Amino acid sequence: MLTRKQHQLICFIADRLTETGVSPSFEEMKEALDLKSKSGVHRLISALEERGFLRRLPNRARALEVLRTPERAARQQPATAAAVNRGDAAGPAPEPANDVVEIPLHGRIAAGVPIEALEGAQMLPVPAALLGSGEHYALEVAGDSMVDAGILDGDYALIRRTEVAHDGEIVVALIDENEATLKYFRHEGAMIRLDPANRSYDPQRYSPKQVRIQGRLSGLLRRY
């Protein structure tokens, strides 16, 4: 299930590739979808990648490959929630958007340098349509090192519990069993590299024994 904006973007990219053979620029995508910033385009592209609709071709500027497209009739599907949905493509269909579920809210997590992950007894109400299959929890984002991925200070990161991560995924990584951070996960030789999405921050490198994956980013919830 795609949001209205995700439908619009994948169809816009597919049409442009059919017409010209060249992917539209981020500025063109921003204008076509009437978004306020390019960070919104980044979020939508990441969501479409994770759902298997789109792939970025490495080492080529503006290179996007459409792997599959939704049914054209689905373009008219209304938006179900004012949030970024990065749920799994697989698994049972989401429940209606007006259904709300509560998931544990485990304090604040750094999107900059690692801070201790706080365990709390609070619960966060979340539209069921934002969650795919599996067990989820939420963390409040602190810091700005993931802003280029559209993750802002004060956002609620919706995390699907998993101990397995693949290169390029945004994960909650527990460092030395007492500090957690939200970063892109990558292998670098025998090391694990945790990459920020902000040029002001440097990648963090650890031995595999120092890093334990606690979940993968499934969605974002933002309050205005």
Q: Structural domains in the chain?
A: 4-75 (1.10.10.10), 100-221 (2.10.109.10)
Structure tokens at 80: 């179900």
CA distance 93 to 101: 15
HEC secondary structure over 41-75: HHHHHHHHHHCCCEEECCCCCCCEEECCCCCHHHH
CA distances from 48 to 9, 81, 173, 192, 207 (A): 9, 17, 23, 25, 31
For 183, residues 6+ apart whose C-beta sits below 8 A from its C-beta are 111, 145, 146, 170, 171, 173, 194, 195, 196, 204
Catalytic residue among 133, 183, 200, 207: 183
Query: What confidence score (pLDDT) does residue 89 get?
Result: 41
Residue 46 falls in the annotated catalytic set: no
- Residues 106-160 pLDDT 10s: 878 876 655 445 555 588 888 877 777 788 889 989 889 899 999 999 999 999 9
- Residues 63-111 pLDDT 10s: 788 888 775 433 333 333 334 444 444 444 444 444 678 888 887 887 6
Structure tokens at 201: 């921050």
Catalytic residue among 23, 39, 46, 145: 145
> What is the share, in percent, of the chain residues with pLDDT greater than 70?
79
Residue 209 falls in the annotated catalytic set: no
For 214, residues 6+ apart whose C-beta sits below 8 A from its C-beta are 117, 159, 161, 163, 171, 172, 173, 174, 180
Q: Are strands 191-195 and 179-188 parallel, antiparallel or unpaired?
A: antiparallel
CA distance 123 to 104: 5
Are the CB atoms for 105 and 60 separated by under 8 Å? Answer: no
